[in-house]
Structure 1
Amino acid sequence: MAHEPAAVSTDSGKVAAVRAYHEHSKHRPERYAPGPGRLDWANQPDPWRSWDGAARTILPLAADGLATRYAALRRGELPPPAPFDLEHIGILFELSLALSAWKEFGGSRWALRCNPSSGNLHPTEGYLIAPALPGLPAGVHHYLSRDHVLEQRAAPREGWDAAFGGQAALVALSSIHWREAWKYGMRAWRYCQHDCGHAIAAVSVAAAALGWSARVLDGVGDDDIARLAGLDRVADFDGAEREAPEVLLQLGAAGSGTDVDALRALADQADWRGRANRLSSAHVDWPDIAVVDAAARKPRTAAAEAPAPAALPPSAAPVQDLSVATLARRRRSAVAFDGVTAMTAETFFAVLDALLPRAGVPPWSAWPWPPQVHPALFVHRVDGLEAGLYVLVRDPAALAGLRGAMRADWLWHKSGPAHLPLYLLIPYDLRATAQLVCCHQEIAADSCFALGMLARTGLVAHEPWRYAPLYRECGLLGQVLYLEAEAAGLSGTGIGCFFDDAMHELLGLAGEEWQSLYHFTVGGPVEDSRLSSLPPYGAARRVRTPKT
């Protein structure tokens, strides 16, 4: 198990630690980032974190009756707020962190979930922090996706409910680094942050489908999250793998809120229950992960004042008009593409349009900071659009900086609809280049398009805690691309293995101001007919009452 690192006490020391981790965790054509070398199957982590001794509340499976359409959410059209009760809390988790299916092959069986994860390892854990609700006691509850239940970690004393103003609750997300490090070694911390971003987006979309707002509370620190979710209770882990605090989301109807300071004080007085299960009997220590996690830990900060998103026309309708419930459970990570399927330019532009932040549109309505991530796209098979290298500049304020940081001979020709900030750098067939950059993986060349997400990592030089949110913003983009691909009748998949500096050299980027942090690809999937698909939960538990 990872040891606790020595504290990095100065900002300059934290910046140096973050930069060292980023450099050492890069893949390069001549060598990959340090990893386990082989998979120790005997110590493969248990995919389920559970709390022995915690009382369980069974959540109903009621999402089949939810009428909200994905196309409506893309236009910012949310339904009236649903009641805060057990049934609707169940829907929130059913469409965000729950299982979407079981797969079987050759005697093996594994679960898929609504929130994407690198290697299907799922390091992200979710906690509900709520007042007393119809059917659910007040307190801190861990969500166990295997059984679709809430485990009550903390039963609060008097004063707890008063800290929630209006119809409100909190969702805390944490990461178990070992789940990813078992397979990916040093680079695992990056993937945990991607997956946290995926989960933020999944929770945001599910909340919006219920008419609830969801927003990351950017002022709180990681220590606040650890205290509220009980992650700092060392004895409760007792040799089990620890969880790192990541984000805290405010859920509720308009005008609702939560007094985090009051809850933190009340959490100290609560009756905490349960012991964490141990996921593996033996572990490999990756000290670099512990060091970067400590260096990038977020302190309390002033609440961000992100500028209002630019006024944009409504997003074009997706190819398929699907309900949020259908789309969330249909989402899959493609393992191969056919190398033939093309998408229309109109569909391609609509997918990119969904990556632009719009007021009131999830998941961007949940993100408190201005856009710092901009996709560089390898367009392969888009009918009506030249193949080549493009950039989508998600914030107009970033255009000059990006253009100045790249090769001086790029074209920067405006492409697509007038409001879409898409620029052609060079028209060229770059399938071989995309495959090479993505660790020689054919999925980057056999798709309709692939992309790398350029993040403004220069922010870390002033505030090292910003390193993690950059990856999480990439994860938000990834989850939107997953949903958009499915709604277009295609499939997508995240690519965590890529040659970092090869991508930078291609674009002409130098220095540390911009780095590619995540890659993604969308195309026509090749389905594996050998796999059997089974429903995620027993049909007897489903509630079929129509929902608005």
Structure 2
Amino acid sequence: MAQNPHIGVVKALVLLPLVVVFLWTVAAKLWGRPVSPSQIRALVALLLAFYLAATAFLGLFWMSRMELPVFDWHYLMGYGLLLVALWHLWLEWPQLLRFFSRLREERHLKWFLLAAGGSGAVALSAVFGGLELFQLRREEPASLQAGSAAPTPVPPVFPTAVPHVVGPAGVSPGPSGFAKSEARQAVAYMARESSASLGGLVRRGLFFGPKVASLRNVGGKTLIPLPPPLVQVGTGLPGALGWLSRPSAPRCGACPLAELATLLFAANGVTEVRRLGGETVYLRAAPSAGALYPVEVYLVNVGAGELAPGVYVYVPQEHGLLPVAGAYDARAWARALGFSEGAVVSGPVVVFTTVFQRTVWKYGSRSYRYVVLDAGHAVANFWLVASALSWPVEVTPFFADPEVEALVGLSPDEEGVVAVGVFGRLPGEPRLLPAFSEVRVTGDWEREELTRLSHRLTRWQWTEGEPWVWQPRWVATAASGHGPDLLQLIKNRRSYRRFSPQPLSSGQLATLLSRLEPMAALVPGGTGVEVRAVVVRDEALSPGVYRWWPGEGGLQLVKSGSFGRALYRAGFSQELLERAAAAVVFSLDEQTLASTFGRRGFRVGLLATGMLGEVVYLAAGEVGLRACGVGAFADNELSALLELPEGTSPVYLVALGKE
């Protein structure tokens, strides 16, 4: 991936004051009027004040408001401050030498050094004590340790025995006995290592490789232009969710290119272009942590319609397709997706991937949460718009990773598959799936970058064994209401941070949460995601922490009280959380997910959370609210605020308020 094309301009502007001062001093000397030492000291003092003020301003005003594209300015100003500080130290070095010489003559030097050393020891003790307080090291599960290489994938095998069923009261297809215990430990390990704590930060490091661009470089390559996306899809969010719950009159045949273009646009299209901090930012239809957009969307076409068979990647900034593979093997795709022997995939396939380094360079060990959540946002938009257009599409996180990676042509160390959408299959249909096994991680995994390690830990391949059935939990009642057009909601969605002090109107939060039920019931892993709400200001609800239960359960008060400040502190004092009238918080039930899906449960749960989070975004727009997703918070503090039981980890929250 290419570097940010504007970073050179930013670096030049940051260094400009230093260059101007240097050139001025050189020119003055050449003119015979050299700058005096006192003038140089005054200039250095002014430069120190400038860089210090600029760094503080960026941190306090821009970064605290999460205007994230100015991050380049922030850290480069910090480098400028360091350079000027070193210059200042060099200028004042004679004074420092005289100071230490005077201390030595007065026999105070040893006391000075003892005081400085003691202060340093106290600081180090505080740091390492904090490591123990924030996060104690635990035994890593045996399943994470180096082992033999992964076995060769085998075709799915479907014996005649009655398969296991995953459902409200079904039997898990996941590991059993000791293997189940290992899977739970592995999921807990990934949740713990990616939590925001001082211990994880120090152990995993502060630098995570080079920054890469959020857009694919297609310079000089031939793109296939797509028709403009539709203006409207003719139904609102309730209608799309209702169709997901109870599909009626599904369409068949080849999907028109204009509608395929609309689906790709809804998943990853550019909805606005802004200039922020000297950088051009292509804002997308689906939200992304830090506006880094790690998600790529591939279209696998069978040859029906106006496109030739092959694999294409969607290029958002051009709203076009770039061919990446010219062959299409229907049987190979059927095997990779776990269809029964002899089956073929006869409709288009849409593959959602994440490019790890786009997020890792900035967010480090937290990144796997973010990249999968971002994929969930895009998948939800795609699925909802397909439903609004009455296209039967199954979105699944169940596939053999090595086979799909090979069919799309991915490098698994750089880009991972997260979900696959298959046309021609109703979203509520039960699906027979083969037994799976997990690829063991080999080598020194402790030193491996956590995002790539987490994706490797959650990779599946089909193997011999008893098959199982994925049976979605049907929703008794479909979503009701009309509201704005769904595609308009997607186009107009923005992460809003400057909430007003107004309370939520009566019924807004209840309506918003009711939109979650159809998606939570249908998406794999939805039953392993717990939903809570922190209510700060609401006309109908008293302030407090609530647990949301699907169905007739609704909102149940967990504890009453005003917790706005506690939410603000748990969220690293982000101003938007102080302003929010409420927040919807998603947590993963690690035991449920690991028991059902093994180590992959962590990935499946994050994907489901991202999809539910996108529904919250869209439902907020439907009821007249603003929303902003937040993934940066102190996990322990937020868990304590919500009174989460052990084995339940907060992974995402969406702040809500009025404009």
The TM-score normalised by the length of structure 2 is 0.62
Q: What does residue 124 of structure 1 align with?
A: 295
Matches within 5 A, 1:443-482: 443-459=576-592, 461-462=594-595, 463-482=598-617
Alpha-carbon distance change, 346 to 149 in structure 1, aligned in 2, over 3 angstroms: same
- How far apart, in 2, do the equivalents of 1:18 and 1:364 lie? 21
Structure with bigger RCO (C-alpha 8 Å, 6+ apart):
1
Does residue 345 (structure 1) correspond to residue 479 (structure 2)? The answer is no
- Taking the aligned partners of 1:489 and 1:33, their CA distance within structure 2 comes to 42
Question: Would you say the 8 A contact 2:238–2:515 is kept in 1?
Answer: no
Which of 500, 510, 532 is residue 376 of structure 1 equivalent to? 532
Alignment-derived partner of residue 332 in structure 1: 494
CA contact (8 A) 2:183 2:594 kept: no
Q: Check the 8 A contact 2:207/2:364 in 1, yes or no.
A: no
Shift of 1:508: 3.6
Of 459-468 and 344-353, deviating more is 459-468
Q: Secondary structure at the match of 1:384?
A: coil
- In structure 1, what residue type is equivalent to 2:261? G
1:145 aligns with 2:316: yes
TM-score scaled by length of structure 1? 0.74
Contact 2:521 2:527 in 1 (8 A): no
How far is the alpha carbon of 1:434 from its aligned partner? 1.2
Secondary structure of the residue that 1:187 maps to in structure 2? helix
| Residues 1:19 and 2:175 aligned together | no
Q: 2:34 is matched with which residue?
A: none
2:372 to 193, 204, 215: 193
2:649 corresponds to which of 505, 511, 515: 515
Indicate whether 1:425 and 2:558 are aligned: yes
Could you tell me which residue of structure 2 aligns to residue 435 of structure 1? 568
Choose which of 621, 628, 637 in structure 2 pairs with 1:502.
637
- Report the CA distance shift for 1:34/1:88 in structure 2 as closer, same or farther (over 3 A): farther
Q: Structure 1 CA distance, aligned partners of 2:585 and 2:409? A: 36
Report the equivalent of 1:248: 420
Query: Are 1:295 and 2:295 counterparts?
Result: no
Q: 8 Å contact 1:317–1:350 — kept in the other structure? A: no
Mapping for residues 408-423 of structure 1, pairs under 5 Å: 419-423=552-556
Kept after mapping to 1: 8 A contact 2:194/2:365: yes
Where do 5+ consecutive residues of structure 1 fail to align?
235-240, 262-284, 358-362, 397-418, 526-548
The CA deviation at 1:289 is 2.4
Shift of 1:254: 5.2
User: Which whole-Å CA distance do the structure 2 matches of 1:455 and 1:289 have between them?
Assistant: 18
Distance verdict in 2 for CA 1:184–1:33, change over 3 Å: farther
Structure 2: distance between partners of 1:229 and 1:470: 24
Question: Residues 294 and 443 of structure 1: is their aligned pair in 2 closer, same or farther, counting only changes over 3 Å?
Answer: same
Report the counterpart of residue 172 of structure 1 in structure 2.
Answer: 351
Would the aligned equivalents of 1:306 and 1:368 in 2 still touch at CA under 8 Å? no
Match of 1:58 in 2: 225
2:231 aligned counterpart, secondary structure: helix
Secondary structure of the residue aligned to 1:220 is coil
Could you list the per-position Cα deviations for residues 348-378 of structure 1 after superposition, in whole angstroms to 9, with x for gaps in the alignment? Answer: 1110100112xxxxx4576245521121211
Q: How does 1:53-132 map to 2 (within 5 A)?
A: 55-64=222-231, 66-76=233-243, 81=251, 83-105=254-276, 107-132=278-303
Q: Structure 2 vs 1, CA of residues 105 and 503 (structure 1 numbering), >3 Å: closer, same or farther? A: closer
- Answer yes or no: is the 8 Å Cα contact 1:215–1:368 preserved in 2: no
Work out which of the residue numbers 517, 522, 525 in structure 2 matches 1:356.
Answer: 517
Task: State the partner residue of 2:523.
Answer: 367
> What SS does structure 1 have at the residue aligned with 2:353?
strand
Higher strand share: 1
CA RMSD of aligned residues (A): 3.5
Does 2:371 match 1:204? no
Does structure 2 conserve the Cα–Cα contact (< 8 Å) formed by 1:131 and 1:160? no
Q: Tell me the SS of whatever aligns to 2:481.
A: coil
DSSP 3-state at the match of 1:195:
helix
Shift, 1:310, TM fit: 4.0
Shift of 1:456: 1.0
Give 3-state SS (helix, strand or coil) of 1:168's partner.
coil
> 2-side partners of 1:207 and 1:30: how far apart?
44
- In the other structure, the counterpart of 2:215 is 48
Alignment correspondent of 2:470? 305
Amino acid at match of 1:515: S
Q: Secondary structure at the match of 2:303?
A: coil
Q: Distance in 1 between matches of 2:448 and 2:656?
A: 33
Return the offset for 1:440: 2.0
Alpha carbons of 1:255 and 1:488: their partners in 2 closer, same or farther (altered >3 Å)? closer
Report how many aligned residue pairs link the two structures. Answer: 456
Does 1:222 find its partner at 2:378? Answer: no
Identity %: 23
Change over 3 Å in CA distance of 1:90–1:524 after alignment to 2: same
Change (3 A) 1:341 1:304: farther
Q: Secondary structure at the match of 2:516?
A: coil
Residues 432 and 468 in structure 2, CA contact (< 8 A), matched pair in contact too? no
Instruction: Render the CA deviation track for 1:142-174: whole Å, top value 9, x for unaligned.
Output: 111111111111222687899796972111111
Which position in structure 1 is the counterpart of 2:658?
524
In 2, Cα distance between equivalents of 1:49 and 1:118: 18
Contact 2:236 2:486 (C-alpha < 8 Å) held by counterparts: yes
| Cα deviation, residue 73, structure 1 | 1.8
Structure showing the higher helix proportion among its residues? 2
Query: Deviation of residue 181 (structure 1)?
Result: 0.9
**Does the CA contact (< 8 Å) of 1:114 and 1:328 recur in 2?**
yes
1:200-241: per-residue Cα shift (whole Å, max 9, x none)? 111101211221122223542222321221215x8xxxxxx7
For residues 13-66 of structure 1, the C-alpha deviation after alignment (integer angstroms, 9 at most, x for no partner) is 6665543332232124898677875899xx531111256786532111131154
Q: Tell me the distance in 2 between the aligned counterparts of 1:310 and 1:229.
A: 34
Per-residue deviation, 1:108: 3.4
Correspondence for 1:402: none
Instruction: Kindly indicate whether the alpha-carbon contact (under 8 Å) linking 1:165 and 1:256 is maintained by their aligned counterparts in 2.
Output: no
1:477-516 per-residue CA deviation (whole Å, 9 max, x = no partner) reads: 110011011112221111111111222223444432x211
The CA distance in 1 between the partners of 2:571 and 2:285, in whole Å, is: 25
Change (3 A) 1:74 1:24: closer
Could you tell me whether the CA contact under 8 Å between 2:528 and 2:589 is conserved in 1?
A: yes
Measure how far apart 1:341 and its partner are.
Answer: 2.3
Counterpart CA distance in 2 for 1:335 and 1:288 is 30
Deviations 1:86-117 (A, max 9, x none): 22111111222111111134643211101111
What one-letter code is carried by the residue in structure 1 that aligns with 2:237?
A: Y
Structure 2 residues not aligned, in runs of 5+:
2-143, 151-178, 335-342, 434-446
Q: Which residue of 2 aligns with 1:317?
A: 481
Structure 2 Cα separation of the partners of residues 335 and 198 of structure 1: 19
CA contact (8 A) 2:537 2:581 kept: yes
CA distance in 1, matches of 2:257, 2:607: 29
Rounded Cα–Cα distance in structure 2 between residues aligned with 1:166 and 1:127: 16
Aligned residue in 1 for 2:624:
489
**2:559 maps to 1:390:** no
- Give the greater-gyration-radius structure (CA): 2
